[in-house]
Amino acid sequence: MNNILIIDDEPAILTALQFGLEDSFNVYCTLNVPEGIDMINAKNIDLVLLDQYLGEYHGLEVLQTIKKKNPEVLVIAMTAYGSIESSIEAIQNGAYYYITKPLDITGLKLLINKALDYKNLTNKVANLTKKISENSNKYNIVSSSKSMNEVFKIIDRIKDLDINVLITGESGTGKELIAKAIHDLSKRSSEPLEIINCAAIPHSLLESELFGYEKGAFTGANQRYKGKFELADKGTLVLDEIGEMDVFLQAKLLRVIQEKRITPLGSEKSIPVNFRLVASTNKNLLEEVKKGTFREDLFFRLNVISIEMPPLRKRKEDIPSLAKFFMNKYSSMFNKMVSGISSSAVGILEKYDYPGNVRELENIIERAVALTSDNIINVKDLPREIIEGVEISTTSEWIPIYIGESLAEAEKKLILATYRYCNENKRKTAKILGISERHIHTKLKNYLEEEKI
């Protein structure tokens, strides 16, 4: 249970509050202000109920002292003499909320729980932001997952070693980002980084892109052209999707790796080159070796250090932070004021398996930012095929239902809220609430007609 401290100069109020709250919290009480301030650290207090009139002490001064020494501790200010001015002043000085006496214990419990939920969420966001910031600053990659931390550890160990690296993983997992991180953190970071996608260039042109050519080497070669091997001299060369390179060119690449020299097309003179090689592929190169489509000797030359990128479905704890990163990116790009993602939408995103990995998540958020008419991304802004492909469950979201409210009105609120949470899908609404689709259809028809009136 959370630890609550009550500071008040009236013993009867302390006794009443302790009796009313002790079933839900660990409650500490004091009439003495200095003792109370010392107890905050000694008892690891999460929240303070602070009276604003404490004899020789003024509540606002005590509030300022508490927030200065323990800014993470929540304070709810209490007084029998409430006013708008004093409420504003208390909030401005760091109080979470301001309540007037006499206190309703049930309402006070709800307020305390809401404050503690806010504190827990704030702490989680702060910790996640710290982890993301630490990783993002160094690797330019948004992640705090255990599997990606293992990748980061490998990068740290090999970043300054002039050995070949092979990055494997499904499409869209961020292999190119890892290659860039290796270069950016290495001793070659001030030198060129050249990246070429072997799958995006026809085999007949890939050789000239890599080796370059002399003027007149073939029809259309009107001037000397430096290839990627030469451009990457003293820096890093990234061969993306190397599994698509044909066997003939693989043999020439093997010789370059062994000799560190190239001969441009149309030239009789070889040129020394000094680059670090990083290759990536979404193929299983050992299987390609067995098929005869990839040279075994080249595979072993490339596979000195192997880094396997985990698919997004195996690091789902990164989804909320990645989604927020992409939301900020496209909000700025589209000049839109989209500032958050609802917990319902995050829940859907976390349940989806992402065959397209991080790239697919980015596309989803880009679309959502572009289409949403609100300042937050809701379930309705996500692609329908993703929503329908995910089993929707209950959430921690709540709706206000008050004592004395009719059952009919409470039922209406619950059905409408669930219906909108399910992106207006009647079948899923009925399934979650455990009632028939026919019943839901009838109820919704009446409710929605009432809203139009």
> Are 192 and 334 in a shared domain?
no
Confidence of residue 57 (pLDDT cuts 50, 70, 90): confident
> How far is residue 295's CA from residue 417's CA, in Å, rounded to a whole number?
60
> Are 411 and 365 in a shared domain?
no
Residue that terminates a domain, selected from 89, 123, 157: 123
Q: Which long-range contacts (CB under 8 A, 24 or more apart) does 377-380 make?
A: 377/327, 377/338, 377/340, 377/341, 377/342, 377/345, 378/342, 378/344, 378/345, 379/342, 379/344, 379/345, 379/348, 379/421, 379/422, 379/423, 380/420, 380/423, 380/424
Residue 386 confidence (pLDDT): 84
Average pLDDT, the chain: 88
Instruction: Choose between 209 and 88: higher pLDDT.
Output: 209
Asked whether residue 395 is domain-assigned, the answer is no
Number of domains in the chain: 4
Q: Based on C-alpha coordinates, what's the Rg of the chain? A: 31
16: CATH: 3.40.50.2300
Q: How is residue 347 written in tokens?
A: 């829940």
296-332 pLDDT per residue, tens: 999 999 999 999 999 999 999 999 999 999 999 999 9
Average pLDDT over residues 53-71: 85
Range of the domain at 201: 146-308
Give the range among 95-104, 142-151, 221-230 with minimum mean pLDDT.
Answer: 95-104
> Are 292 and 160 in a shared domain?
yes
> Are 200 and 214 in a shared domain?
yes
Residue 120 confidence (pLDDT): 82
12-51 pLDDT per residue, tens: 999 999 999 999 999 999 999 999 999 998 899 999 999 8
Residue 87 confidence (pLDDT): 67
380-437 pLDDT per residue, tens: 899 988 877 665 555 555 677 777 778 888 888 888 888 887 778 888 788 788 788 8
Residue 59 confidence (pLDDT): 81
Asked whether residue 400 is domain-assigned, the answer is no
* Among 67-76, 101-110, 297-306, 330-339, the range of highest mean pLDDT: 297-306
Predicted confidence (pLDDT) at residue 450 exceeds the cutoff of 80 = no
* Among 53-67, 295-309, 334-348, the range of highest mean pLDDT: 295-309
Asked whether residue 108 is domain-assigned, the answer is yes
> Are 303 and 325 in a shared domain?
no
> Are 157 and 79 in a shared domain?
no
